[in-house]
């Protein structure tokens, strides 16, 4: 994992912890957690093993967030 991916993962994990403090009925929190969990799922695959579409999806997901 590169330094950039490590920093991204840390930011995502911090945001997950923050969102888990919100009410579980919050549609905002539920949606954001789904997106963050998808990012973590893609990041868990080694960069060399990621497909081009997964790498593109990862970039799109990150661009849609303001972390």
Cβ 52 vs Cβ 7: under 8 Å: no
Give Dmax (Cα) for the chain.
Answer: 38
pLDDT tens track for 5-22: 899 999 999 999 999 999
Is the pLDDT assigned to residue 66 strictly greater than 80? no
Q: State how far the Cα of 17 lies from the Cα of 15, in Å rounded to an integer.
A: 5
Residue 39 contacts residue 12 (beta carbons within 8 Å): yes
Nearest-angstrom CA–CA distance, 39 and 58: 6
| Residue 1 and residue 45 in contact, taking contact as beta carbons nearer than 8 Å | no
Condensed to tens digits (0 to 9), the pLDDT of residues 15-64 reads 999 999 999 999 999 999 999 999 999 999 888 888 899 989 999 998 98
Residue 47 pLDDT: 82
């Amino acid at each position: 994992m590169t330094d950039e991916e490590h920093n991204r993962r840390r930011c995502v994990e911090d945001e997950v912890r923050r969102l888990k403090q919100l009410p579980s009925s919050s549609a905002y929190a539920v949606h954001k957690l789904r997106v963050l969990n998808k990012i973590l799922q893609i990041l868990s695959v080694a960069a060399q093993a990621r497909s081009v579409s997964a790498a593109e999806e990862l970039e799109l997901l990150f661009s849609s967030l303001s972390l």
